Structure 1
Amino acid sequence: MADRRTDRPRLCNFVAQDDCWKKYIEREQEAARRWSHKWGFLKTPLEELIEDEKTENAKPKIQLPEHLQVRPVTPVEKYIKVIPSPPVPKTTQGFIGWRSAVPGLELERVQIQSCKGTFFKDLKWPCEPSD
């Protein structure tokens, strides 16, 4: 590449480049030599590292009292009964509310009691709109 100031080719110092390369190689070899001392534990197989933990876990298990033992899992089918759905309607108009129309598949209806109404009843006030 040409030098911008003088428009003449840059001179390369081959001796300096060779010296930089030699230092780079020396640093690489030094790092490779020190790696096993610093990071050699990473080469150890996992089974060999876990071996000690397996022997420590070989302790006998203590039987828990009956009130602390976990009960076996009860199947969901015992509590939840799934009834087959009626056939799907052919029109979108019929699709709206098609499951809630069948007595066995009704949606749950819960009465919502207003706290405001119960408050008025407690104070024996009339249930009128208030601010």
Structure 2
Amino acid sequence: MANSQQTSVPVNFVHQDEIWKAHIKLEKDSADVWPEKWGHLTEAYKEYNASVKKNAIRVEPPKQLVGRSPPVPQTTQALVGWRSAHSHLQLEKYGTVHHGRRSFLKDLGWPLGACS
């Protein structure tokens, strides 16, 4: 069983410092090389941004499809179905959907007892 008195692993601060220095050097080197490798993207972005601003499309806010809600009921019992009781808040604007039951056998014109 491990010693329960030891709370942490000893840290080598010099080693941690060397790792940090290597990370910083890599970041600096990458920042120096980036314009040579990827600098062409900045001009392409500027051209794109200018064309977007020139051809900007106005977006209108969407129309409100459902009316304002009535005030929230005081009790939880009244909360059930409180919005559906008002006709102007119905989500089915075009009436209820009626999908009849279809039979594959009927579609083929076969008698209903053809398959068992």
TM-score by length of 2: 0.45
RCO comparison, higher one (Cα < 8 Å, 6+)? 2
| Greater radius of gyration (CA) | 1
TM-score by length of 1: 0.41
